[in-house]
Amino acid sequence: MPGATCIANFVKAELALIDDPRRAESLKAILVEPRQEVRDWDYGVPGTRYPYWVVAESHDRGILLVYCEHGFGPEMPWGFLLADNPEEITLGMDSQWGWYLEEAFIRSGLWDGFSNEDEAWHRPPDERFQ
């Protein structure tokens, strides 16, 4: 599993993909130093737990933006989770995970601005980066 410095570099790379400067600034405003937590994984052997990295947090909305190489990662490593006690909740459903940090930010409801269906974050990496 990568360390905090590596995760911070992943976040920088993801921020560089965001075309809308207002959206990028809004996301930057809630970034935190990457910290590792662990939650239950509902889709495998009972008791399975996976580590993940919190990279952004909205205290007022109770939402975390996270990176995880397990569970729905590595294909879809960016997600959003509820900020309740991580010891008592899980890594969530597939609809909470995607290819990009921007996608997690928008789908979490933390982005209050406009977004449309033809934006790059809707496309899988093999189409987006041809």
Averages of pLDDT over runs of 10 residues in the chain (130 residues) are 92 96 97 96 90 96 96 91 81 93 96 87 84
Q: How many domains does the chain have?
A: 1
- Give pTM, 2 decimals: 0.92
pLDDT for 91:
93
The predicted structure's pLDDT at residue 126: 84
Q: Which residues constitute the domain of residue 60?
A: 4-128
DSSP 45: S
User: In the prediction, which pLDDT does 96 show?
Assistant: 95
Q: What is the signed CA dihedral for 87, 91, 93, 98, rounded to 10 degrees? A: 150
Please report the beta strands in the chain, taking only residues with DSSP state E, as ranges in sequence order: 31-40, 49-58, 63-67, 78-82, 97-98
